[in-house]
Amino acid sequence: VRRVVFASSNHAMGMYDRHSEWPVYNHLPPRPDSLYGVSKVFGETLGRFYHDEYGLEFIALRIGWATADVGSGDDDLLRAMWLSPDDTAQVVERAIEAPVTFGIYYAISDNPNRRWDLTNTMLELGYRPNDNWEYVLGEHERVVEGGRPAAPGWPN
């Protein structure tokens, strides 16, 4: 294959969330919050090796909370990382077609309370999220300066 689009996860950086250390940028050192997160960091690192050693194109998408039913989770952190089905399709399509040959990108919708930087996802992949949980649920964000702390034991 010429290109791999790797389904990574927000859990690759989950300790930032656990300790409410926001905003989170893709260039920060990985801080997985679980063995699952460790496996995603390993996958990203393996992709970097294959890109550098063999020229394999590798795009990692650090996917937030992908669900069609954003109302099923009342947790502020879940809503902040929500990725709608339509935005999922768009970011994957952009990852397949982008002119870049390597990168790690956040994949979340345009949520007002998001804590993860989408700058490189938008600039390098051309991703333009269309959805946000406020619009879907007809609710408004409860603004907490600096963001609401992660729930004890995050991730659940």
Helices (H), strands (E): how many in the chain? 6, 5
d(C-alpha 132, C-alpha 87), whole Å: 10
Catalytic status, residue 36: yes
| Residue 66, φ and ψ in degrees, nearest 5 | -95, 110
d(C-alpha 52, C-alpha 46), whole Å: 10
The distance in angstroms from the start CA to the end CA of the chain is 36
Taking a C-beta distance cutoff of 8 angstroms, is the pair 116, 78 a contact? no
The closest of 118, 37, 121, 110 to 80, measured between CA atoms, is 110
Taking a C-beta distance cutoff of 8 angstroms, is the pair 6, 58 a contact? yes
Which residue of the set 16, 25, 36, 105 is catalytic? 36
Would you name the residues annotated as active-site residues? 36
